[in-house]
Amino acid sequence: MALLYTGIHGNSVKSSNSACPSFDCGNGLVIGYPFWQQSHQPDHCGYPGFNISCTGQTPFLHLSDHLYRVKSIDYPQNSLVIAYGELNDTICPLVSHGVTINSTLPLLNYTGDDKTVNFFYNCTLYPPSVQYIKCLQYGAKRAYVFMDGAIPEFDWRSYCESIVRVPVIGKAAGDDGAVLADGFGGALQDGFKLTWSADRECQTCEASGGFCGHGGDGVHRKFFCFCGDGRQLASCHDAGTLIFGSLMITSTVVFLIGRKKIGAHKRGFSQIPSSGR
């Protein structure tokens, strides 16, 4: 089994084997293990739920029945930056849903770089002198956006049709800790950062130099550790143990056979009668 390494922007991309190579949707971002390409690779080519599809030249990650654009992947840091896939308007986008990751992909989590912003849409009553999102005003209804911890005291839930909480990268939200009502589009387009980790079986596998894969469906889903010699074991250390054990057994058998032949050879010489001298 070949182990492939591809350099991209200073990061290393490791692909599990020749049947699961790294790929590029066409935008220059090389994607590899633990991510795998949906509909082009079997699901044992990476972590469950880490399947990525290419739409045009854009890679998309599937989270809770929604698509998110993959902007970058930092393999040494086990992190990636993704953004809402359906935001066509970069200046005045409307976010229709929040982000759910832990319930669908427990191996993904937010990072310290992420901040949470809160959108309040179609509010019929609102506090005076609070800046609102002018491009999302609908008649007398207004929309607002605030960072966590900077929401003015008001009964927003009673007077706004919907409230959506979304993560953004902190530096995109502004150093002052607040998302400006006229600059939230850029913050959403910059996306948010996630980090991934492996489960215990996978950590053991990767620590031994292998690649984690899964096969089967539902309760019959099975874990595999793909090793450099083509074996599929719980750990590639097991492969080394098996190989070492086989070598030891083979060496022992060869040694015993050799001793047996030498012993027979000596006994044959002892049976030759003396010449009587």
In a domain, 83, yes or no: no
Query: Is 16 inside a domain boundary?
Result: no
Look at the chain and report how many structural domains it folds into: 1
Whether residue 58 lies inside any domain: the answer is no
Q: How do 36-37 and 30-31 pair as beta strands?
A: unpaired
Residue 146's domain comprises 88-190
- Please state whether the predicted TM-score (pTM) of the whole model is above 0.95: no
Give me the residue label for tokens 């008001």: 154
- Residue 71 counted as domain residue: no
Residue whose pair of structure tokens reads 């049976």 in the numeric block: 271
pLDDT for the residue numbered 21: 87
Sheet holding 108-110, edge to edge: 36-37, 51-55, 58-63, 66-74, 79-84, 192-196, 108-110
The list of the chain residues with pLDDT below 70 reads 1-19, 88-89, 102-105, 172-179, 215-221, 229-234, 238-277
What is the per-residue pLDDT for 210? 84
Q: What is the pLDDT of residue 166?
A: 92
> Which residues 6+ apart lie within 8 Å of 85 measured at CB?
60, 66, 67, 68, 69
Give the pLDDT score at 249.
35
Within a domain: 96: yes
Domain-located, residue 139: yes
Q: Is 177 within the bounds of a domain?
A: yes
Question: Is residue 192 a contact partner of residue 167, using CB atoms and an 8 Å limit?
Answer: yes
Nearest alpha carbon to residue 194 among 107, 82, 110, 70: 110
In a domain, 184, yes or no: yes
pLDDT tens per residue across span 47-80: 888 989 999 899 999 887 889 999 999 999 999 9
